[in-house]
């Protein structure tokens, strides 16, 4: 899955690069042949420099960058961002404060045990914990929405502690 994503990213990046370069080529001055009989045009200043911006990769799309990790995990019956999730929250907060046009949906999840609606509310508590941490790091409220998928969209489909731990999670989803 991760490999597939990387390939998709490389293809997308390549497409982006080629799109950029073709645009630049079209903007370059065209060479035209003119009749010799006409008065000679003033010679172009071959010491003139026309600057070009090179393509930049959005760090969000770097599969090896820190922003590739978008999941924050929680302990059983806990709704507090763990130490191992703090870096994830900080990295995305830093990106969002620099890129104020970007918005994220924070989707909270729970393990499969318990009622549908109560789990939805518990997942919301996890999403809200991440949202509050990001807001405290300066991300604007308009960039953040905390929601819950409860136990409805488990990433791990097993019925053991390993699967449950994987599903006690909030994901940062860019819109």
Q: Which is nearer to other proteins, 8 or 121 (CB)?
A: 121
Q: Which of 78, 146, 147 is nearest to 111 (CA)?
A: 78
Residue whose tokens read 């905390």: 146
| Strand-pair partners of 165 | none
Query: Least distance to other proteins from the beta carbon of 120, Å?
Result: 5
Q: Which is nearer to other proteins, 105 or 163 (CB)?
A: 105
Tokens of 37: 């009989």
Query: Least distance to other proteins from the beta carbon of 128, Å?
Result: 6
Q: Which residues contribute to the site for other proteins (CB under 8 A)?
A: 105, 107, 114-118, 120-122, 124-125, 128, 131-132, 145-150, 152-154, 157, 173
In the three-class reduction of DSSP (H, G, I as helix; E, B as strand; rest coil), residue 164 is classed as helix
Query: Least distance to other proteins from the beta carbon of 46, Å?
Result: 56
Query: Least distance to other proteins from the beta carbon of 133, Å?
Result: 13
Q: Which is nearer to other proteins, 79 or 95 (CB)?
A: 79
Q: Which is nearer to other proteins, 55 or 173 (CB)?
A: 173
Question: Residue 30: what are its φ and ψ, rounded to 5°?
Answer: -85, 145
- Give the count of beta carbons closer than 10 Å to the beta carbon of residue 22: 10
Query: Least distance to other proteins from the beta carbon of 161, Å?
Result: 15
Q: Which is nearer to other proteins, 65 or 166 (CB)?
A: 166
Q: Which is nearer to other proteins, 13 or 174 (CB)?
A: 174
| DSSP per residue, 80-127 | S--HHHHHHHHHHHHHHHH-TT--EEEEEE--S-S-HHHHHHHHHHHH
Burial 161-170 (b: 16+ CB within 10 A, else e): eeebebbbbb
Query: Least distance to other proteins from the beta carbon of 50, Å?
Result: 45
């Amino acid at each position: 899955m991760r490999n597939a994503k990387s390939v998709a990213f490389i293809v997308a990046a390549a497409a982006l690069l080629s799109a950029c370069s073709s645009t630049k080529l079209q903007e370059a001055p065209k060479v035209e042949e003119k009749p010799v009989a006409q008065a000679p045009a003033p010679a172009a200043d071959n010491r003139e420099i026309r600057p070009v911006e090179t393509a930049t990769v959005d760090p969000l799309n770097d599969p090896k960058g820190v922003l590739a990790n978008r999941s924050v995990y929680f302990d059983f019956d806990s709704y507090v961002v763990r130490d191992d999730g703090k870096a994830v929250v900080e990295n995305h907060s830093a990106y969002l404060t620099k890129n104020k046009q970007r918005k994220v949906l924070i989707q909270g999840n729970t393990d499969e045990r318990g009622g549908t609606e109560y789990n939805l509310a518990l997942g919301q508590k996890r999403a809200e914990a991440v949202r509050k941490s990001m807001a405290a790091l300066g991300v604007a409220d308009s960039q953040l929405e905390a929601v819950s998928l409860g136990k409805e969209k488990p990433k791990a489909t097993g019925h053991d502690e390993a699967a449950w731990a994987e599903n006690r999670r909030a994901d940062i989803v860019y819109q």
